[in-house]
Amino acid sequence: MGQHSMLQLWREVNMPAHSRTTHRLRCHSRARGAAPRLRHVFLRAEKGGAEVATAPGPHVPASRRQLLQGAAVLTGGLAAAVTGTAPAAAADLPAAAAGTPAPSPVPTACPPVASGSGTRAWRALRDPTLNRGLATPASARHLYGLDGLLPSAVTAPEQEVARAEAAVARAAGCPLMQYSLLMGLREADPGTFFALVQRDVERYLPLIYTPTVGDACLAWGSLLPRPTGLSISLEQAGRAGELVANWAEGQPQAKIAVITDGERILGLGDLGAHGMGIPTGKAAVYGAAGVDPSWVVPVALDVGCDTAAVVNDPLYVGLRRPRERGEAYYALVDEVVGALRARYGPGLLVHWEDVGFSHAFPLLERLGAAGVPSFNDDIQATAAVTVAALLGAERLPGVPPLEQQRFLFFGAGQANLGVASLLVAELVARGLGRREAEGRVWLVDRRGLVTDDRPDLSGGKARFAQPRPRGLAATASAPAAGPKGARPSGSEVAPGLVEVVGAVRPTALIGAATVGGAFSPEVLQTLTKVQPSASSRPLVFALSNPTSAAECTFEQARRWTSGRAVFASGTQFPSLQDGGRTLTPAQANNCFVFPGIGAGCVASGAGAVSEGMLLAAARAVAALASSEDLAAECVLPRVGRLGECRERVAAEVTRAALAEGAAAGVAARGNWGGRSWAAA
């Protein structure tokens, strides 16, 4: 960028909002013939009988916004660049490190369409950047030929948000219907959608993501409308560049790609192409947290499905073939990631979602070896939010310091292995030796307690293998999960788990095995009995999603431990009344973490997501739990503070990346192109 262009950007960043609007209009009028696809004008609104140029929201055209954000970093504030207002500070870092500005509730950028052109008018009618419903000003309706295609009333954008709120409320009692309404709104009017969700995150987050998104994925074949994402199948191998280019027609810029292969959708198993609800849902959560929605592209890789009931459903939308697990799988991943980076730049962050265990860790290693920044939400974000909950629990009376505790993980899949690994890093940071810290962690997998006399352990499990406790037979501990395609009920696993709890004597029981009801009355009563003192409070974390897969409820945990349990869960449970107090369970939801990790990686240019960055995220979230939260037994902040969490986490992740030297410029990472990764 030349000195003159940079100076122009600097002036635009620092001029008053009303001057900036006039400046953009002037610049637009000069460039009208130069780049038709990048031309933008600000809508005009009626005021006092005369049309005046206004900027009702902080939206800036995507191409211009990226330059403005970069200039804002140099001149002291990202939010100021987009909104014309002072940014909210996050810790003591520049506002740019806290992530992106909140998406505009009323985006107004739009390319000019000749008035009177019927074809163009109908295109404008279906373009959410042009058609704002009744909030479309009269001048814009005339400009784009929308007169007569919309009702004549012109309302304020806030009225459209109220209209959407009423529509969702009318479907109360049917979360899936509410999900469909909200996703339809997101497709038709994203500005109103994000304004509505951000108005009441606690109300709408469970509808746009867990637990409702699980039901949406199960019903994906008959769901209308379905959220839009980039879908690439094995049959389209060799055409990834073409398909990414097709998508980029509607999303020309992106910084984060949320990718799933549909194999491990929440606690529901392999749903194949019906797993698209996960990346589209995560993209919506990014926006709800204040990350610019144009930054995030949702991607589903259709590589087959091994669930017969899904594949044989006549309404299934994916390939009807067994799941590919060999070289063709990795070849498609290579091609898709290469195409995304070729289109959006080598700094694109890959956010993996609900990938099966056999591919989850190899994919992280594969991308890391190639210098591709990536993280797995189910491993690393789950780890960060769970450690945050442990740190928050530590602040309650009766809970020993973490370095004095013993942790039993029910389930030894990618989620609990990630939590255990990050927990060890926290304990080491507190002065424990690594082997001593690992000795505080016990795992239960589908074959029982993970002990050092078992020859069948993978490297991740072997790290935490402990000597078998005296008196605990090799056959005494029940499986944490049933055979493939089946999950045992809590009553089937409870007897063995009771014996394991009695032998290990943990102070914390953490479940992520998707075995609904596994924390039975006998398990939790035994957990209470083995605490080091009568005043010690056991930690009970039932992290599995959706609600049907949760190991226990908040009410059960309280009742079966005589009110002593400190509880957190992956799904949200209702509050309880206890002696005049309202107790609110903590929801260990990854949404507290992944938007900030994504924004922090983008802000810092980090080439990898390190343990230090994840610990920084965990500590940032834990610190946001207020005294009021803790008084209500809630060891994490409320979901309603999602935007604040994103800012704080992004700032701390950026700080950690810079301190570790993990941040690397895009140029230093080079252009990956079609390079082959090492075998997983």
**Binding site as annotated, residues for (S)-malate:** 264, 545, 589
Q: Which two tokens stand for residue 411?
A: 């389930």
**What is the biggest distance separating any 2 CA atoms in the chain, rounded to whole angstroms?**
87
Q: Which two tokens stand for residue 438?
A: 């690992």
Return phi, psi of residue 423, to 5°. Answer: -60, -45
Distance CA 346, CA 333 (A): 15
Q: List, as one string, the DSSP characters of 494-538.
A: HHHHHHHHHHH--SEEEE-S--TT-S-HHHHHHHHHTSSSTT---
Q: Kindly give the pairing relationship between strand 109-110 and strand 41-42.
A: antiparallel
Query: Residue 407: beta bridge partners?
Result: 441, 508
At which residue do the structure tokens 């309650």 appear?
Answer: 396
Q: Which residues contact 298 (CB under 8 A, 6 or more apart)?
A: 227, 229, 230, 258, 276, 279, 280, 282, 283
Distance CA 1, CA 70 (A): 12
Q: Alpha-carbon torsion 607, 608, 611, 617, what sign?
A: positive
- Which residues line the annotated binding site for a divalent metal cation? 353-354, 378
Closest CA to 84 of 106, 63, 66, 58: 58
At which residue do the structure tokens 């060799």 appear?
Answer: 238
Closest CA to 87 of 95, 97, 75: 95
- Which residues line the annotated binding site? 264, 353-354, 378, 545, 589
Q: Which two tokens stand for residue 71?
A: 């200039």
Closest CA to 637 of 540, 579, 581, 568: 568
Angle CA 643–555–173, to nearest 5: 65
At which residue do the structure tokens 């609900």 appear?
Answer: 354
Q: Say which DSSP state 633 is in.
A: T
What 3-state DSSP class applies to 301? strand
- Asked whether 611 and 422 are in contact (CB, 8 A), the reply is yes
Distance CA 546, CA 514 (A): 8
Q: Which residues contact 155 (CB under 8 A, 6 or more apart)?
A: 134, 135
Distance CA 515, CA 466 (A): 24
Distance CA 506, CA 522 (A): 15
At which residue do the structure tokens 């996960």 appear?
Answer: 278
List residues with catalytic annotation: 209, 282
Burial of 414 (0-12, 13-18, 19+ CB in 10 A): buried
Distance CA 533, CA 398 (A): 9
- If one counts every other C-beta atom within 10 angstroms of the C-beta of residue 505, the result is 16
Query: Residue 90: beta bridge partners?
Result: 93
At which residue do the structure tokens 């056959």 appear?
Answer: 475
